[in-house]
Amino acid sequence: MQAFEYASPATLREAVSLLGSQWEDAAVLAGGTDLISLMKDYIVTPRRVVHIRGIAELRRITPTPAGLRIGAAVSFEELLEHPAVAHLPGLRTALAGVSSPQIRAMGTVGGDLLQRPRCWYFRNGFGLLARDSSGRELVPAGDNRYHAILGNQGPAYFVCPSSLAPPLMVLGARVRLVGPRGSRELAVGELYRIPTAEGEREHTLAPNEILTEIIVPAATGLRTATYEVRERELLDWPLATASVAVRLAGGRIEQARIVLGHVAPIPWRAEAAEQWLRGRTLDEAAATQAGELAVQGARPLSRNGYKVQLARVAVRRALLAAREG
């Protein structure tokens, strides 16, 4: 890999000061489960690597009356073992879905939210928009088995690889970002965008900002669930997921949130399905119809049409699991 400076700051303020105004200036290292591979393949070539795992405030899990605050450098294993997560089954399922003990021990919550796309065109140096030297798009006529079926009108066809973004979104979670001008908070969904031009990133994080914590509001009265469809149970990324949160009143749905994962360049909010569910009984028929509405407007590519059915099934099964929870 390309030579780089290494820094291990003890405070968040020091860490921010070591970043730069361009992505090439510095990269943030937490668990390193993805960054090191990207650097070895020269997909990212930072001049400095800033290791933040030693900053104590980023390693805390803090239950509060208002909910749960999770430091960005908390590992999957640490969060999975925390008692507070037992009451958040949708989030717990997503955490447990990462089956590798090594990844769970080293991979961090913040790193998962900011994980770069797994698209093999991107990973082989063709950029986020997957174009060859002449500017021709490679995905539509190429091997697009694992690419997007929603939000893929072009030019981005990759899927958001985050396991935790969908369950956090249905919980109404927010993220805190800290930069040289102070801190700001965003809803988890606002952390993502679909790039439309070369040089744009898939996140709204600035190069000189650090994601420091995730703020999860109290889930009182919410029933949550996540359902993942995988090609195999060994370490792998899902083909499609659905995370849901429903609030029932008098046996009917008062509120519903549905977010699909691994089917679009961003975690995909199924708003039409959410609206349709309000006021209805959460039964098999309603869950099935919600699955149909969740994939309205899907545009499968030449080799990934199967994902439409997987997404339908994931929504239906997640809703039924939430009903039982």
Fold of 222-324: Enolase-like; domain 1 (3.30.390)
Per-residue pLDDT, 31: 94
User: How many CA atoms lie within 13 Å of 314's alpha carbon, on the beta-carbon side?
Assistant: 29
Neighbours of 58 (CB within 10 A): 23
- Residue 217 scores a pLDDT above 80: yes
When pLDDT is cut at 50, 70 and 90, the band that residue 237 belongs to is confident
Radius of gyration, alpha carbons of the chain: 19
DSSP code of 310? Answer: H
Report pLDDT digits (tens) over 77-115: 999 999 999 999 999 999 999 988 999 999 999 999 999
Other Cβ atoms within 10 Å of 220 Cβ, number: 8
CATH class of 56-114+162-217: alpha beta
- The DSSP call for residue 262 is S
Residue range 37-60, pLDDT digits in tens: 999 999 999 999 999 999 999 999
pLDDT tens for each residue of 105-135: 999 999 999 999 999 999 999 999 999 999 9
Domain boundary assignment for the chain? 5-53, 56-114+162-217, 222-324
pLDDT tier at 246, thresholds 50, 70, 90: very high
End-to-end CA distance of the chain: 48
Fold match between 5-53 and 56-114+162-217? no
How far is Cα 325 from Cα 274, in angstroms, rounded to an integer?
19
- State both tokens at 275: 């609206």
CB atoms within 10 A of CB 296: 10
Our CA angle for 20, 21, 27, nearest 5°, is 45
- Residue-wise pLDDT for 141-181, tens only, equals 999 999 999 999 989 999 999 999 999 999 999 999 999 99
Please state which CATH number belongs to domain 5-53: 3.30.43.10
Q: Which pLDDT does position 252 carry in this prediction?
A: 97
pLDDT over threshold 90, residue 241: yes
- Written as one string, the DSSP assignment of 90-138 is HHHHHHHT---HHHHHH-BHHHHHTPPP--HHIIIIITTTTB-TT--BS
